[in-house]
Amino acid sequence: MKRISKPSASKPTIAIPAKEKRKDSFFESVYDVVRLIPKGRATSYGAIAEYLGTKLSARMVGWAMNAAGAAYPPVPAHRVVNRNGMLSGRHHFATPTLMADLLKSEGIKVKNDTIVNFEKIFWDPVKELDLS
């Protein structure tokens, strides 16, 4: 992300720390959902994708997470794992163990880079947020 890295010179605007367009991207939608994940729970890329209506494109969610690190407010990306509860994105954190440590600090048990009893702590946005 960082469209800012493309200064066309014609737009010398200052770094604009604040959101320039807010709902501009699909990424923001993903971040919003992820930020709603309660502490001690976790969800999967596919579940988020399904909630957003792009079920068959869970990859996009992962893609969004790749840019989540620069998002503000911070996005608890560690609460998003693949459908098997495996910490497939751990290598994208500052350290390979950070993701597991964060989860553990929230009471989630992680064994061998996989969340224990994933089905129990699984937080499905489609069900939890539903539509009301």
Which positions lie near DNA, rule CB under 7 A?
Answer: 1-3, 5-6, 25-27, 44-47, 49, 54, 56-63, 65-69, 77, 80, 82-84, 88-89, 91-93, 99
Indicate the residue among 119 and 132 with the shorter CB distance to DNA: 119
Indicate the residue among 66 and 114 with the shorter CB distance to DNA: 66
Indicate the residue among 25 and 97 with the shorter CB distance to DNA: 25
Running DSSP on this structure, what letter comes out for residue 38? Answer: P
Q: How far is the CB of 122 from DNA (least distance, A)?
A: 11
What tokens were used for 64?
Answer: 């969004």
* φ and ψ of 23, to 5 deg: -65, 20
Task: Give ∠ CA 39-71-41 in degrees, rounded to 5.
Answer: 15
Q: How far is the CB of 131 from DNA (least distance, A)?
A: 20
Q: How far is the CB of 36 from DNA (least distance, A)?
A: 16
Is the Cβ–Cβ distance between 34 and 75 less than 8 Å? yes
Find, among 71, 9, 61, 53, the residue nearest to 30 by Cα. 61
Handedness of CA 92, 126, 73, 11 (dihedral sign): positive
Indicate the residue among 77 and 108 with the shorter CB distance to DNA: 77
Q: How far is the CB of 64 from DNA (least distance, A)?
A: 7
